């Protein structure tokens, strides 16, 4: 097996920061227009996601960029400085997006947004180094540098028409030191890139990430209040009937993909709950 093939095999499953995975970050409704995300944990910890002034919250495209960045981090051997490099064209192809002027712009914007969106933890984000919740602010990306190809390279591209429009620039990003430290300390959850990519719904992809947090904590079932699940995803809908219309197609997709054995929404007294039964990994 070639080195490249071994790397692809090794990164079919990637590790993500379990602390960050359990907290809301990516907006999942294109109709939403919140200026921030606020989430209060059962123990009283508070979490906020604050976009840069004039920008919006990270969204569904940003969620896919985030996962792909960690895949590349692991494929690169988890470099100590947290830096991963790639061409914009190759990155878009990896997340099965058409590489054109519009998607190049989307990718540049997503990387910039992940660099400048502030994640504020008030005893909410678990710091594996101290074993306790952290009170600090950080970002998903510490640094982003995007360069267009050197003029000499662009001159040479005229000899290769197929590449002339396909390689508009190269990026070098530095992933969060906090997230890298948690993963290195074993405070992580595992994600199958193949399974994640097979889910066409952003809501199903986000639920899959939460299910893997539950699995990493040793659970084969997970019960969560419907209102809390809506905040964790997060979803803007608040009425149970509205939430069910969003969740049902995602649940069916996760069951069909072999990631869930069952998902049932039940009402007890005045509160609604979602009961998940996780499928075995071999499924």
Residue 99: pLDDT over 60: yes
Please name the fold of domain 199-283: Arc Repressor Mutant, subunit A (1.10.10)
- Which pLDDT score, from 0 to 100, does residue 166 have? 45
What tokens does 145 get? Answer: 């540098």
Confidence of residue 35 (pLDDT cuts 50, 70, 90): confident
Confidence of residue 33 (pLDDT cuts 50, 70, 90): low
Mean pLDDT to the nearest integer, 25-41: 83
At how many degrees (to 10) do helices 3-10 and 60-75 cross? 130
The pLDDT tens digits of the residues spanning 107-137 come to 999 999 999 999 999 999 999 999 999 999 9
Confidence of residue 59 (pLDDT cuts 50, 70, 90): very high
Q: Give the residue range(s) of CATH 1.10.10.10 domains in the chain.
A: 199-283
How far apart CA 277 and CA 228 sit, in angstroms, is 18
Residue 20: pLDDT over 50: yes
Mean pLDDT to the nearest integer, 90-100: 94
The pLDDT tens digits of the residues spanning 198-251 come to 999 999 999 999 999 999 999 999 999 999 999 999 998 989 999 999 999 999
The pLDDT tens digits of the residues spanning 152-198 come to 455 554 444 444 444 569 999 999 999 999 999 999 999 999 999 99
> CA-based angle 23:257:8, to the nearest 5?
80
- Which pLDDT score, from 0 to 100, does residue 210 have? 98
How far apart CA 123 and CA 135 sit, in angstroms, is 5
SS3 119: strand
In the chain, DSSP assigns E strands to 13-17, 37-40, 46-50, 83-87, 118-127, 132-138, 141-147, 170-175, 188-192, 221-225, 260-268, 271-278
């Amino acid at each position: 097996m070639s080195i490249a093939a071994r790397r692809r095999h090794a990164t079919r499953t990637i590790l993500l920061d379990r602390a960050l995975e359990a907290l809301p970050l990516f907006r999942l409704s294109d109709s939403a227009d919140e200026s921030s995300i606020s989430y209060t944990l059962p123990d009283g910890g508070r979490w906020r996601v604050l976009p840069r002034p004039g920008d919006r919250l990270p969204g569904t495209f940003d969620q896919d960029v985030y996962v792909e960045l960690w895949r590349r981090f692991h494929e690169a051997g988890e470099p100590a400085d947290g830096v991963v490099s790639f061409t914009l064209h190759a990155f878009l192809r990896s997340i099965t997006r058409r590489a054109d002027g519009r998607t190049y712009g989307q990718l540049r914007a997503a990387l910039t947004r992940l660099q400048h969106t502030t994640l504020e933890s008030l005893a909410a984000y678990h710091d594996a180094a101290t074993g306790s919740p952290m009170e600090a602010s950080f970002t998903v990306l510490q640094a982003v540098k995007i360069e267009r190809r050197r003029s000499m390279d662009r001159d040479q591209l005229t000899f290769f028409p197929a590449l002339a429009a396909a390689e508009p620039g190269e990026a070098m990003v530095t992933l969060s030191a906090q997230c890298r430290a948690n993963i290195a300390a074993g405070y992580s959850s595992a994600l199958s890139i193949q399974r994640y990519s097979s889910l066409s719904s952003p809501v199903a992809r986000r639920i899959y990430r939460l299910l893997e947090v539950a699995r990493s904590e040793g659970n084969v079932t997970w019960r969560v209040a419907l209102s809390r699940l809506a905040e964790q995803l997060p979803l803007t809908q608040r009425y149970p009937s509205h939430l069910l219309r969003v969740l049902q197609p995602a649940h069916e997709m996760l069951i069909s993909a072999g990631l869930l054995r069952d998902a049932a929404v039940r009402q007890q007294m005045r509160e609604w709950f979602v009961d998940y039964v996780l499928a075995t990994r071999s499924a």
